[in-house]
Amino acid sequence: MVIPYARQSISEQDLNAVAEVLQSDYLTQGPVVPAFEDAVAQLVGAKYAVAGNSATSMLHLACLALGVTTGDLVWTSPNSFVASANCALYCGAEIDFVDIESETFNMSATALAAKLELAKKSNRLPKVIIPVHMGGQSCDMQSIGSLARQYDIKVVEDASHAIGGTYNSQRIGNCAHSDITIFSFHPVKIITSGEGGMATTQDEGLAHDMRMLRSHGITRDESEFEFTNDGPWYYEQQELGFNYRLTDIAAALGLSQLQRIDSFIQQRNSIAARYNEAFASTLVAAPHIASNSVSAFHLYIARCDFENLKVTRVQLFQKMKDMGVLLNLHYIPIYRQPYFAKMGFDRKTFPNAERYYAQAFSIPMYADLTETDQNTVISSLLNALSTQ
Ligand SMILES: *Cc1c(COP(=O)(O)O)cnc(C)c1O
């Protein structure tokens, strides 16, 4: 039996919620998607929530709603999944990266300030920045938000890891320092709908635009029609949109999972506390969580100074696998991917992302990880690091 790095937790209630939709009138475009949207909006304290079939889709729509287009520039964190950067490329924009903080692995507000000052001088400021809440811990949104206001830049929080987490005692997703926040409901994340994503915002116009774009750019609202209403069948396509809709089947799973969000976060945090304690005064560096944050702990990211160890990281991954524990690495810096490398990024401009990539690895973390399995992870890891 193998311990994976992440996995979903499915309850009897989840099964029933999905079965109920399957026996109802609507498998999609029914009442459950809006119910899921309302529940997420209420949880995080946002006026509006717009569901879609993935976080990637919603990142794309967020960029479009903020007007990102050909010739624009978008900045994100190099330490993220490629979707955080691809959303800008889908809109025809160019992408660039801001180096991370070595302690939180999040976009550095200091590096951002320095890069903005240079960009202003060369008249090449980004239209949108996309900070990523790495592992479930919020970025320093107060600093990032105030820089964005100073330079008149829009902010999309990629909170794919972070639903349920808090920043300054408020839920991530209330957009206190941003325009839009995006959540992912992929099965490895905190709650799942199979595939799925959601955007939250306090801005009615942005919510409206994302809603329209997720369904072909079509409106059925008569008050919005540009041409004459031909009759009861009439609708208008006013923009080039997509089919990025979430199904009611998926929304039912997401909504049911959401009822357990606080226990998921609590379980993840107690596993993290257990790991922290076990790794104190060992070769394993635990992740640092700022005092004004509660991480959703999508990931537990450990680091080792492999240059000064007898075990390489490749060997560590193999040894752990032999002991039935799967490790992972989040993330390969995006600019290192062949598709992005062609754009000509210089690795030396991201020293913290490079050091992080040399040291980091993710160990198993999910709500249902049993105490026995936690013990196996801890003892296997310490054992693997102490042997040659
Ligand atoms: C998972 C993830 C995404 C993409 O989410 P999907 O729902 O799979 O599209 C985007 N950004 C980050 C940081 C992620 O971890």
- Domain residue extents for the chain: 12-258, 261-386
Residue 51 Cα to ligand 1 midpoint, Å, equals 14
Q: In angstroms, rounded to a whole number, what is the distance separating the alpha carbons of residues 75 and 118?
A: 14
Residue 242 Cα to ligand 1 midpoint, Å, equals 19
Residue 195 Cα to ligand 1 midpoint, Å, equals 10
SS3 (DSSP) at 145? helix
Class of domain 12-258: alpha beta
Residue 114 has pLDDT above 60, yes or no: yes
> Tokens standing for 366?
């999910």
- Superfamily, domain 261-386: Aspartate Aminotransferase, domain 1 (3.90.1150.10)
Report helix, strand and coil shares of the chain as percent, to nearest 5.
40, 15, 45
Which residue shows structure tokens 């000064």?
308
Would you give the DSSP letter of residue 245?
Answer: P
What is the pLDDT at residue 311?
95
Contact 327, 365 (CB under 8 A): no
DSSP H or E stretch at residue 270: helix 261-279
pLDDT category, 275, cuts 50, 70, 90?
very high
pLDDT category, 388, cuts 50, 70, 90?
low
Residue 304 Cα to ligand 1 midpoint, Å, equals 26
Q: Which atom of ligand 1 is nearest to the CA of 80?
A: 13
What is the pLDDT at residue 307?
94
97: closest CA among 123, 78, 120?
Answer: 78
Is 381 touching ligand 1 by the criterion CB < 6 Å? no
pLDDT category, 381, cuts 50, 70, 90?
very high
Q: Is the pTM of this model over 0.85?
A: yes
Residue 387 has pLDDT above 80, yes or no: no
Q: In angstroms, rounded to a whole number, what is the distance separating the alpha carbons of residues 311 and 289?
A: 27
- The string over 178-199, giving b where at least 16 C-beta atoms fall within 10 Å of a residue's C-beta and e elsewhere, is bbbbbbbbbbbbbbbbbbbbbb
Q: Determine the residue of 59, 97, 160 to mutate for testing ligand 1's pocket, defined as the one with the most ligand atoms within 8 A of the Cβ atom.
A: 160
